[in-house]
Chains A and B, each alone.
Chain A
Amino acid sequence: MTDRRRNILVLLFVAVLVAASGVVIATKPTKLGLDLQGGVQLIYQVSPTKGESLTEDSIQRTIDVMQDRINQYGVGEAEIQRSGQDQIDVSLPSIDNPEEARQRVGTTAQLVFYDWEPNVVGPNGETNAADPNITGGASAGERTNPVAISQFDAVMRGSKLKPITNNGPGQMPPVAGTQYYLVDTKAKKVLTNGPQESLESITGDKRLAKYFDAAGKPIPPAKIVEVPEGYRVIQAADSNNQAGEVIPAGDKWFLIRDRPSLRGNDIKDPAQSFSSGGLRKEPSVVFSFTSEGKKRWQDTTKAIAKRGADNCLFQQGEPRAQRIQRCSNHFAIVLDQQLISSPLIDFERNPDGISGSTGSEISGSFTLKSAQALADLLKSGSLPLKLTIISQQQVSASLGQEALDQGLLAGIIGFGVVAIFLVAFYRVLGVIAVLGLGVYTVFFMAIVKLIPIVLTLPGIAGLILTIAVAADANVVIFERVKDELQNGRSVPRAIKDGYRKGLTAIIDGNVITFLVAFILFLVATAGVKGFAFNLGIGVIVSMFTAVLMTRAILGLLSRSPIITHPAALGARKRNPIWHRFDFVGASRWFFAASGVILALGAIAIGGKGLNFGIDFESGTQIKANAKAGTTVEDVRNALKTVGEGDAKIQQVKLSGASDKSGRVTFQISTEALSTAKEQEVGRSLAVVGVSQADLNSNTVGPTFGQTVARMAIIAILASFALIAFVIWFRFGLQFTVPILIAVIHDLLITAGIYAATGAEVTASTVAALLTIIGYSLYDTIIVFDRIRENLKRLPSAAISQIVNRSMSEVLGRSLVTSFSTGLPVLALLLFGGDTLKDFALAMLIGTISGAYSSVFIASPVLTAAMERAPKFRARRKRLMEAHGGHLPAYPEGNTAKEVEPDGPRKSGRRVTSPEGPDQAVSKQEFQEMVSELGIETSAASTVTAPREPSAAKPAKKPEPQPDPDAPVSRADDLSPEEVESRYEKPSGGKKKSSRRHGRPR
């Protein structure tokens, strides 16, 4: 297949894909992440429960139950996925109440029915169903029960008891194991949030760290106490007032024997209903029993009724209702750690218990919503594993929209500036590159919709960065094309060689970026995963558009008049300002400058430290839009009302709609708040004009912070190891060490600048740092690729001369790639909003540092390391002797003699040796000569063997420098048609000597 035909086919294929992508983009919706559309994200850590260990199966069953609850919750587009070994990530778009979301999705919902009176534990650990001083009598599980005690007292009462692991024959086993609490014996307070199932849950909780000494022992008056198996500490039921409002139970608790009568799996078909008795129809939950449940229900209620009757002393004249209230025993319904209700069993009406055939009803202090929620929870069943919320984020719909607008604006501006730069710098080549970028963007958007990829803000950052990757690929190739043009190649040949020679560096660079993205995707948290995924996909797609497609376009245009003049390709006269600059000689001063920067960075880190964000530190960050004129003091005063007056409050400047509205945005940072407390804080801000729906909050618990920190370390180390392996594989050990030193240099300089500027280090920063590694390597690979090439090309030159020459040749390219990367990154920094700024700042520092280190750190280190090799040491000695003890910075005289860098020829035969005595050269040899001369042939063209093989003679003398401003002469690289005419009808025009070896100096 001819080149032309292949190029047409490639472009046809691209056209079909573009059309298909257009259809996908037009018809498929874009799935937006929570940060762009608003909603609630909850990240849970799962831990084993009694009788349920942490396995793949139990985690999956937990996820299934949660999914079922989400479906019943009626949240469209909700996502639930496992994250890491023991975390579950729940995204609920369009929800603005995290507390409700948490209760609906993450409540364990362990429903247990107890026979109340025989299980209430009295002051000395005794139980006595007939003693109202122990049971509390008629008020049973209500908050008004006189025997209800504080949580601390209940826990301490339980801690004095012996465990009971077996409830006796025919009885159900206890539902809870040993329960651990951290208490303050002086303040008589329980410090843990409910019972913990292991000691590690307490000692490993960062929020409780202040209660422990260095050896991990609780500092008095803090103390760890255990409530043994067989007992439970449960909170009294909430109640309703006359107006139907819920009155929370408060610090009213009971210690009960853990002897369940029925469990949640004994009931079925729960549904929200209205209570059948009483004047007012209260919301309730009705359900029916399983066959096993029916029997247990009947037996239990019969026992309760019998006990009521047995213990009741009839009083003359007492009304029935009063007697029933006084004598009847109760049935307690406990959900997780709290009583829902404790209805009495009317022993006169139900002496044989209540049949389970018609089901039953739970009525308590329900609102319509809470009754519905409980019915939904019971429907999906209890969670097999314990869920602990470790991070929660709430994004308001308006701020989500604003973030989307900012991300898109940054993307459009990033694309625009790169396009302008490419066109201004590469003219026609630039236009083709921009076309490639446009096609790339269309493909990418189609992939995003087709898979579908949930588009998040970090994902948009990934997309913008891949635009830079795609532009970089074109820059690498175009600079190569310009090199070839300036070396006197024809335009078609320059294009062909430019792509061929530039491709290896692009593949190396993209492979590394892809691997970094892959590692990041494997270990990162959800937000950063989106970035990594888009970066990885983008790298692959950009290879197709930036290399294959632009090559096909240029291949077709290569003989067109619009690109025959070098100026049309941006190929200007060489000799940039760094021409023949002694990079290696000057490197010690650049080294010194780097040393000073690193020392300053060390002092900054030592003095100020790194400003770690809540991703690492844990805590709550609330962003709220207050009415115009609100001050920090106003916000603080509002927060004081809920005990958060010590919060760190900053007024932040927003761009876009928020800024224009005149409203003032504040960022409030506190220790990690519970969802309920967070809501309380949100409500307190109403006085400064903050509405709940406009609240943006992010809470990261200590566990999640540790996960993020661990992820960051693993990702950096794994990326480093993988990159080292790839570089070693591609370049060898000698080149690998300087590259790694340069990367370390870039990372440390970035860390130093972050410390000096006080910029916040977030999970996004880590992602950006990893991307820096990729970008830094891209630059270094380009430089080293040329050094490796020149090592072969200049076999007599000293290593410092080779490095100087290589850097002089590629510095422009390195600067241009850094600039083309820097432009979209700068757009992200300026227009991308707060989240994208995290990426952009680290990326910008890394890009600049990467370009610098590849030239002024990696290359001199390579020079110093290689000069120790005996071969180069001898060469240097010889050259210095030849130049009177001085080594020229660049190869001179015989040292500058070049050899073909493409290695040994395929055939060991001399090209000029004829096959027969009557032939000057064979047809095959002539083809090889044509190929060597860079002359393209087509299948249709016929090549006539020349009478004289003189055209194939290698050029011994350097060629004169071609005038880059003149139209490219095709004398060097003739078309097949010209080849024929050249030998059949010698041209009288100017004929340049063809070269087999070397390049014009």
Chain B
Amino acid sequence: MAILTWVLISLAIWHFTVFFPDHFLGGINGAFLASAVGGVLGGFLLSGLEFPTRHDTTVATVALGIPGTLIALALLYFVGKRREEAQQA
């Protein structure tokens, strides 16, 4: 259940990437993948390298998916932007 909440929150965040210029590596599809992977991975790390069980999943568990998603998206954005600049140069 925790994984489901992390996927949900990470994809919720992904929906807001459209407000940023499209410099994400792999574009909107890349951002989609990165946010989902980042959310689950971040949640897993912040949960102490375990997936909380269904009964241990709370609203706080949902929040654990946010940092990973943001980091993954930020990384993807800066890598994508740098690559674009390199190509233009």
Contact = CB atoms under 8 A, between A and B. Distances in A.
Interface of A: 587-588, 591-592, 594-599, 601-603, 605-607, 609-610, 737-738, 741, 744-745, 748, 751-752, 860-861, 864-865, 867-868
A109 to B, nearest CB: 40
A748 B18 contact: no
B15 A741 contact: no
A743 to B, nearest CB: 12
B49 interface: no
Interface string B48-64: 00000010011111100
B19 A602 contact: no
A602 B9 contact: yes
A867 B32 CA distance: 16
Nearest to A588: B18
B15 A751 contact: no
Contacts of B11: 595, 598, 744-745, 748
Contacts of B27: 864-865, 868
A591 B19 CA distance: 9
B18 A602 contact: no
B54 to A, nearest CB: 7
If over half of A's interface residues share one DSSP class (helix, strand or loop), that class is named, otherwise mixed; here it is helix
Contact of A861 (B29, B57, B59): B29
Nearest to B32: A741
B52 to A, nearest CB: 10
B29 A748 contact: no
A861 B28 contact: yes
Contacts of A610: 1
Given A605-B57, A606-B59, A609-B54, A595 B12 contact: yes
What are the 4 tightest A-B residue pairs by CB atom distance, in nearest-first order? A595-B15, A602-B8, A598-B12, A606-B62
B28 to A, nearest CB: 4
B13 interface: yes
17 contacts: A588-B19, A592-B18, A594-B12, A594-B15, A595-B15, A595-B16, A597-B12, A599-B12, A601-B8, A601-B12, A737-B32, A738-B29, A741-B32, A744-B11, A748-B11, A751-B4, A864-B27
A602 B11 CA distance: 10
B53 to A, nearest CB: 11
B5 A605 contact: yes
Nearest to B28: A864
B18 A606 contact: no
A603 B1 contact: no
Interface residues of B, number: 27
B51 to A, nearest CB: 14
Contacts of A599: 8-9, 12-13
B29 A737 contact: yes
B19 A748 contact: no
Interface string B1-41: 10011011101111110110010000111001000000000
A90 B79 CA distance: 60
A738 B29 CA distance: 8
Nearest to A749: B8
Contact of A595 (B13, B22, B62): B13
Contact of B15 (A598, A606, A609, A865): A598
A860 B18 contact: yes
B1 to A, nearest CB: 6
B22 A605 contact: no
Contact of B9 (A598, A607, A744, A867): A598
B56 to A, nearest CB: 11
A752 B57 contact: no
A557 B23 CA distance: 56
B8 A592 contact: no
Contacts of B4: 605, 751
Contacts of A751: 4, 8
Given A609-B57, A741-B32, A864-B28, A602 B15 contact: no
Highest count of chain A CB atoms <10 Å: which of B8, B11, B13, B16 = B8
Contacts of B65: 602
A606 B28 CA distance: 27
A748 B7 contact: yes
Nearest to A866: B27
B22 A864 contact: yes
B80 to A, nearest CB: 10
Nearest to B7: A748
Nearest to B15: A595
A770 to B, nearest CB: 17
A220 B51 CA distance: 28
A196 B22 CA distance: 61
Contact of A591 (B7, B16, B54, B60): B16
A115 B21 CA distance: 88
A877 to B, nearest CB: 13
Contacts of A594: 12, 15
Contact of A602 (B22, B28, B29, B62): B62
B28 A605 contact: no
Nearest to B31: A864
A597 to B, nearest CB: 8
A598 B8 contact: yes
Given A598-B8, A605-B1, A592 B15 contact: yes
B82 to A, nearest CB: 16
B6 to A, nearest CB: 8
Contacts of A587: 18
Contacts of A602: 5, 8-9, 12, 62, 65
A606 B57 contact: yes
B12 A605 contact: no
B18 A603 contact: no
Nearest to B33: A737
Nearest to B22: A864
A387 B58 CA distance: 39
B62 A864 contact: no
A697 B35 CA distance: 45
A868 B1 contact: no
Given A865-B28, A868-B22, A748 B8 contact: yes
Contacts of A867: 22
Contacts of A598: 8-9, 11-12, 15
A603 B58 CA distance: 8
B31 to A, nearest CB: 9
A588 B32 CA distance: 15
Contacts of B9: 598-599, 602
B33 to A, nearest CB: 9
B8 A591 contact: no
Contacts of A741: 29, 32
Contacts of A592: 15-16, 18-19
Nearest to B30: A865
A51 B19 CA distance: 68
A602 B28 CA distance: 21
A591 B18 contact: yes
Given A595-B16, A602-B9, A609-B1, A865 B62 contact: no
Contacts of A597: 12
Given A606-B59, A751-B8, A861-B28, 18 more contacts: A588-B18, A592-B19, A596-B12, A598-B11, A599-B13, A601-B8, A602-B5, A602-B62, A605-B62, A606-B5, A606-B61, A741-B29, A751-B4, A860-B18, A865-B27, A865-B28, A867-B22, A868-B22
B15 A607 contact: no
B81 to A, nearest CB: 13
B7 A603 contact: no
Contacts of B32: 737, 741, 861
A250 B15 CA distance: 64
Contact of B59 (A603, A737, A860): A603
A473 to B, nearest CB: 31
B9 to A, nearest CB: 4
B77 to A, nearest CB: 14
B5 to A, nearest CB: 5
Contacts of B5: 602, 605-606
A738 to B, nearest CB: 8
Contacts of B60: 606
Nearest to A593: B15
